[in-house]
Amino acid sequence: MYGRLPIAKMLAATVALTATISAVMLSINWDGQEASTAAPKIDDLLNVMIVLSAFVFSLVVVMLFYALYKFRAKPGDESDGEPIHGNTRLEVAWTLIPTIIVLFGAGYSWSVLSDIEKPADDALTVDVFSQQFAWSFGYPENRGAWSQGELHVPLDRQVDFKMHAQDVIHSFWVPEWRIKKDNVPGITTTAIVTPDKSGTYQLICTELCGFGHASMRAKVVVETPAGFRKWVAGLKEKVPQSLVESIRRDTESNPVPLGAGGA
């Protein structure tokens, strides 16, 4: 036997390393300012996950370095290692602890997701059309008006973005909103956002979609409801027929609204 493990010391080292890593990681402002009602909730979730990940990483690193140091071969020692066959207590611990952490993460994420995707009665629907390498936007509640390369939405109102990819998979991401959603050819995907800070942001494609991917961006303007109405009323073009048809061709809507009986 190698004697008892210095559990208290290893735990102290794990806690110290977890605290150090967490302090560095949590001091970084990963996605800029928070500009939607979902943003603070997603940031809290991310921070909790960072601390939990730092804990798991620290635990593994501390045990690894302890084992490397304590059980290293002494100079001249050519003998085989001890034939060890498992350790029930250790195996129960390393199964139980990760299971608890993963279940907690799943439950917490589930509750945040159902909270930020709660449908509002006065939600505005905006169609998002993505193609190599440009974004355009349709406003079905406003005469089917069409805007290329520039998205405007009103402040403090839920927006249901319906995504329609025209060629390959693209991904809709406005960092300040914290929401990211894939646009998948053949199906309609939905992103629900309530912007709560007016300003100008950038919509970024985050799915490698070809040579022009890095430049596939659009301007996002969050403005007062009156400003939005004025802007959308001034749009001259209507959504082209080919794009309207692409919506009809989508075979599936994802996610299916709760209660709609979809599978």
In the complex, the smallest distance separating the C-beta of residue 179 from Cu ion, rounded to whole angstroms, is 16
The footprint of Cu ion (CB under 5 A) covers 205, 209, 213, 216
Cα within 13 Å of Cα(171), Cβ side: 13
- Residue closer to Cu ion by CB (options 139, 173) is 173
- Residue closer to Cu ion by CB (options 209, 232) is 209
Instruction: Give backbone dihedrals phi and psi of 212, rounded to 5 degrees, phi first.
Output: -90, 10
Residue reference for tokens 């300003």: 199
In the complex, the smallest distance separating the C-beta of residue 76 from Cu ion, rounded to whole angstroms, is 59
- Residue closer to Cu ion by CB (options 179, 216) is 216
Cβ(183)–Cβ(203) under 8 Å?
no
In the complex, the smallest distance separating the C-beta of residue 172 from Cu ion, rounded to whole angstroms, is 10
Instruction: Give backbone dihedrals phi and psi of 202, rounded to 5 degrees, phi first.
Output: -125, 130
Q: Which spans in the chain are helix H?
A: 7-26, 39-70, 88-116, 225-233, 241-249
In the complex, the smallest distance separating the C-beta of residue 247 from Cu ion, rounded to whole angstroms, is 20
Of 217, 213, 174, 169, whose CA–CA distance to 192 is shortest?
A: 174
In the complex, the smallest distance separating the C-beta of residue 207 from Cu ion, rounded to whole angstroms, is 5
Q: Is 200 exposed, middle or buried (0-12, 13-18, 19+ CB in 10 A)?
A: exposed
Q: Taking the CB of residue 183, how many other CB atoms lie within 10 A of it?
A: 28
77 conformational bin, left if phi > 0, alpha if psi -120 to 50, beta if neither: beta
- Residue closer to Cu ion by CB (options 193, 218) is 218
In the complex, the smallest distance separating the C-beta of residue 205 from Cu ion, rounded to whole angstroms, is 3
- Residue closer to Cu ion by CB (options 162, 170) is 170
- Residue closer to Cu ion by CB (options 112, 168) is 168
